[in-house]
Structure 1
Amino acid sequence: MEKGALLLAGGAPGCRAALPNSRIMVHQPSGGAQGMASDIAIQAEEILQLRHRLNRLFAKHTNKDLSVIENAMDRDKFMDAEGAIAFGLIDAILARRPKELEVKVP
């Protein structure tokens, strides 16, 4: 699971932004399981539950149908800043630093 994309999507509406050359990736959670078959089954069930929970969160924060999110998360999905706006992860592309954050260099 791409934690950065979830944090970005969950930001305050209207304040979620990326830089023009940003690349954002979303995908389903992954993990490695080892041990006895019963332990592997437990870990697999946990990952499936995590995937469903994360998909619901992305659907909530992007205003997309759950089926759209599930399809997008099936494999790695890379987006540029424009794609992230279309997907609902961000609201704006920052072309330059806001004046109040500019650093004055002598």
Structure 2
Amino acid sequence: MGLFPKENVNKGDTIGYYTGKILTDRTANSSKYCESKYLLWICKDHWIYGEGKESNYTRFMNHSSKPNVRLVVSVRWKTARFEAIRKIKSGEELFFDYGDEYWINTDIDPIERN
């Protein structure tokens, strides 16, 4: 899939918030959610489940070890937003680094796309 901005994005701009259902560790590890590729850990005992009607376009952002976007987490508000780490041109694909833990829990090898 991928996510591509329609306009130029400046360094420091917010791309959007990762939205979805807030889950506890126990719920996230249940059989209903544990196989999801859209679980995002945000703090000690909280996850965001980014599938379903509560999710948004940010779930389509792909991985790169050379990202142009970073994840900014607020433990206090239990939110996660994506911020541009450099200027991004209109139509250029947006990437963030999923982190090593993401790949350990899947049967997928990361592919560099940028």
What TM-score do you get using the length of structure 1 for normalisation? Answer: 0.30
More helix by share: 1
More strand by share: 2
What TM-score do you get using the length of structure 2 for normalisation? Answer: 0.28
Bigger radius of gyration: 1
